[in-house]
Amino acid sequence: MMTPRAYGRSKVRLAVAIGSLALLVEYIRLLGSPGLFWVVEVCFSGLALAVGIPVLWALSFPAIQTTALLVHALVGRGVSRRTWEARTALALWPLFYAAALGVSVWLVYSLGHFGGWPDDLVFGTIGNAIGACGYGTILIAWGRLLWHRQRMA
């Protein structure tokens, strides 16, 4: 059986992998549309992908855990740190699904050549709602821990 930490790390890495697919599709699309500064854009975009994806892969879960520890220090003192970390990691369960849905929405927006009013508002709202699935479950888990602590006190 997986530890909560390993479970959370796997969910974050799956989400990064799915998000990376969208970036790679955008990069491949860039390769097929030469323009005035095409070579410069291709080189810098390729470098950003080559550096950015491994950095996101390595640092996304530690960033979430660090944020969880900071929030715990501010408001969660009545809950053990181990419990707080475990609940945070387990609350990441929808992240993969949200990433897959978010990538789908992004690719429809990008490849469909939408843009401008009201498309930006519609797709932006959908994207933010999908993102809320990722962090909303964490906030709910923390709220439940704090509510339980209040009831037990």
Please check the confidence at residue 91 and state whether its pLDDT lies above 90.
yes
Task: Pick the closest to residue 23 from 47, 7, 39 (CA basis).
Answer: 47
User: Phi and psi dihedrals of 35, rounded to 5?
Assistant: -145, -160
The CA distance from 1 to 39, in Å, is 48
For the whole model, what pTM was predicted?
Answer: 0.83
- Per-residue model confidence as pLDDT tens digits over 98-146: 999 999 988 888 888 776 778 888 888 898 899 888 889 999 999 999 9
Residues 24, 49 contacting (CB under 8 angstroms): yes
The CA distance from 67 to 88, in Å, is 10
Q: Determine the angle formed by the axes of helices 119-152 and 38-75, rounding to 10 degrees.
A: 20
